[in-house]
Structure 1
């Protein structure tokens, strides 16, 4: 059996809400379940970028890249000064940063679930550049405090 895995819809019938039988044609979007290449994709939002061309697809890829980059920045930022006198306020800020990071990470995950090869590559590239700039030893001045004495090459996922 041949299955068309394009983004074209299929016609369906339904009954109207007043009980009369009527023919209504709705386009049902087919979701890709394997990686595909192309600019006709839906990423995060219905019909976005859709079939609006290469410019909108590039904008969508840039958006996913920035989201992944921000996840890495939030994972390695030091916005709360050590020894802060107000632990409650520091805890609230830390919790809000954590919620923001998790929300952005879920958005990146949902974008990758579009199964578009370009989206996958820019998500990985965003995480990679973010880690290079904020988490790796390349731009660190003091390597003793990088990982707090852990033998792991990766820092913990916390702000």
Structure 2
């Protein structure tokens, strides 16, 4: 097609790599666009864990799991603190901002499309909820106030 000035516009050619589901990233790395299994992955930072072996991959999965568990822990702590002791709105807001920031980091890690990272995030959230929100352990049970409502309810009887 001829445009002003005689330049032509052509549709971009398909990728020549034949690596269906992968797009090329700057710096020579590859970014998967579909879920995949494998230890060669980049999570959050260029080259981490990258191609540094199974040990670094497992360490990165542990980090994702722990951050996801921390998100759930902060959620339980903020609910309990808000219901049991006077605390300023600014302090609760800071706690909320920290929790949401960590949750976004977990989400970005999952966007690496690595199935191991996805499983680590789910297990981390599940373990965090088990320990802080499920009521299975004594410290995770909702407290009951004298008015008959529990600490997590928004209305009192």
Residue aligned with 1:35, SS: coil
8 Å CA contact 1:41, 1:51 repeated in 2: yes
After TM superposition, the score normalised by the length of structure 1 is: 0.71
Kindly name which structure, 1 or 2, has the bigger radius of gyration based on alpha carbons: 2
8 Å CA contact 2:130, 2:136 repeated in 1: yes
Give CA-to-partner distance per residue, 1:24-43, whole Å, 9 cap, x none.
Answer: xx743221111100110001
Query: Cα–Cα, structure 1 residues 110 and 64, in superposed 2: closer, same or farther, change >3 Å?
Result: same
Give CA-to-partner distance per residue, 1:46-72, whole Å, 9 cap, x none.
Answer: 010000001100110011001100000
Q: Does 1:145 align with 2:145?
A: no
Aligned to 2:6: none
After TM superposition, the score normalised by the length of structure 2 is: 0.72
Alpha-carbon RMSD:
2.8
Give 1:10-159 correspondences, 5 Å limit.
Answer: 27-77=27-77, 78-79=80-81, 82-84=84-86, 90-139=88-137, 140=141, 142=143, 145=150, 147-148=152-153
Q: Does 1:3 align with 2:18?
A: yes
- Between the aligned partners of 1:94 and 1:81, the Cα distance in structure 2 is 11
Residue aligned with 2:42, SS: strand
Query: Cα–Cα, structure 1 residues 141 and 103, in superposed 2: closer, same or farther, change >3 Å?
Result: closer
- Between the aligned partners of 1:7 and 1:53, the Cα distance in structure 2 is 21
For residue 145 of structure 1, report the CA deviation from its aligned partner. Answer: 1.3
- Between the aligned partners of 1:39 and 1:83, the Cα distance in structure 2 is 45
Residue aligned with 2:91, SS: helix
- Between the aligned partners of 1:58 and 1:45, the Cα distance in structure 2 is 16
For residue 138 of structure 1, report the CA deviation from its aligned partner. Answer: 1.2
Unmatched runs of 5 consecutive residues or more in structure 1: 11-25, 151-159
Query: Cα–Cα, structure 1 residues 76 and 3, in superposed 2: closer, same or farther, change >3 Å?
Result: same
- Between the aligned partners of 1:8 and 1:149, the Cα distance in structure 2 is 48
